[in-house]
Amino acid sequence: MKKLILALVLFASLTSCKKSDKAEEPKKIAIVVSTLNNPWFVFLAETAAKKAKELGYESKIFDSQNNTALESDHFENAISSGYDAILFNPTDAAGSVANATKAKAAGIPVFCMDREINSTDAATSQILSDSYSACVQLGKLFVDTLGKKGNYVELLGIVSDNNTWNRSKGFHSSVDNYPGLKMVAQQSADFDRNKAMEVMESILQAHPDIDGVFCGNDAMAMGAYQALVAANKADKVKVFGFDGAEDAINSIKEGKLTATAMQFPKIIAETAATYADEYFKGKKDFPKKLPIAVEVVTKENIDKYIAYGKK
C-alpha cells in the first residue's frame, strides 16, 4: 500500500510537473492524413510537418490508413494528449464530419487539406483541391487530343473512394457530350501501378483498337503506359493521368504520357500550417473554403513544373 501511494504521489508530481511546463512548450500540431500508402499524401503530410516546424511548432503525423474509424481514434488521442490544432486530410467527406466536430467541441481548430468534409462549420477552414473541375478540364483536353472521336478506356481508382468518382464524373461531364467518343471499357485498378498494367493488358486483348486511356491517378497511368509499350501500341494511344507525381512529370517530358492534372499539395499543406499559426496568434476569421486551382500539365507547359508543384 505504501508503495502504491508512493507511486501515485510520484505520478501526480510528474504529471503536474508536465502541466506547469506546458506554458513554455511550443504549441503542438497534429497532422491527420488519410493514408501514407500513396506518395502524394506522404508529400502532403511531410510538407505540412516541415512548414509547422519552420513556424516553430511541434508536429506529429497520424496515418488513418483510409479507415474512418482509425481516424476517429487519432482524433481522440490528439484531443486528449493536448494538441492545439489539427491539419486534417479526411478519409471520407461524410464520415469524417463527426471527427472534426469532436475536435471543435474540444476547442481545437481543424484545417482540412485537399479533401472536403460535408460541413460548413466543423472545420475552421478547408483548403481544397478541386478534383472534379480539374477532370472537367482534363476531359476537354482529352476530347481535343483525340479529335472528338475514337475508342477509349477508363481506369478507375479504388471504387469505394470518393475521389475516384469525383474524378470520373468530372471527366465524363466533358467527354460524354461527344457521341463520337466511345468508352469501350471501364475497370478499376485500385490506384495501383501493377494492377493497372495487368488490367490494361487484358483490356487490350478485348479491345486492341483504342485511342486513349484516362486514369484516375498517375501510378495507374504509368502502369497502363507500360502495358501499351509491351503491346507496341504506346505511340498510338494517348494516356492521361492525374496528380503530378514525379514519374508522370518525367514521362510527359519524354513524350510518353500525354497529360496529367497538377494539384498543388505543397501550397495546400503550407497554407494549412500558416492558417494554424495565424489562428494561434489570434486571427479567427478564415475563408470557410479556399479552393486551390488544379492545372493541366502537357508537353507544352511541362517546363514550368516539377513533381507536385511549380519550379
Partner 1 sequence: MNITSQRVKLAKFQSTIALLLLCIFLSILSDKFLTVDNGWNVLRQISVNICISVGMTLVVLTAGIDLSVGSILAFSGAVAAGLLKSGISFPENDLFIGFTLLGTILAGVATGSFLGFFNGWVITKFKVPPFVATLAMLTVARGFTMLWTKGYPISSLGTNFAYIGTGWFLGIPILVWIAVVVVIAAMIISNKTALGRYIYAIGGNENAAKLSGINIDKVKIIVYTLAGALAAIGGIMVTSRLDSAQPNAGMSYELDAIAAVVIGGTSLSGGRGTIIGTVLGAIIIGVLNNGLVLLDVSPFWQQVVKGMVILLAVMIDKANSKAE
Residues that bind partner 1 in the complex, under the rule CB under 8 A = 36-39, 42-43, 156, 159, 184-188, 192-194, 197-199, 201-203, 205-206, 219, 222-223, 226, 230, 246-247, 250
3-state secondary structure of 139: helix
Sign of CA dihedral 62, 65, 71, 77: negative
Q: Write down the least CB distance from residue 85 to partner 1, Å.
A: 23
Nearer to partner 1, 100 or 203 (CB): 203
Nearest distance in Å: CB 205, partner 1: 4
Cell output for 218: 498517375
Residue 108 or 219: the one with the smaller Cβ distance to partner 1 is 219
Nearer to partner 1, 145 or 250 (CB): 250
Smallest separation (angstroms) from partner 1 to the CB of 124: 28
Residues 66, 70, 74, CA angle at the centre, nearest 5°?
115
Give 32 or 219: the residue with its C-beta nearer to partner 1: 219
Q: How far is the CB of 185 from partner 1 (least distance, A)?
A: 5
What angle separates helix 265-280 from helix 39-54, to the nearest 10 degrees?
30
> What whole-number distance in Å separates Cα of residue 241 and Cα of residue 223?
11
B/e letters for 155-190, b = 16+ CB within 10 Å, e = fewer, are bbbbeebbbbbbbbebbbebbeebeebeeebeebbb
Q: How near is the Cβ of 283 to partner 1 at its closest, in Å?
A: 32
Q: Which is nearer to partner 1, 15 or 37 (CB)?
A: 37
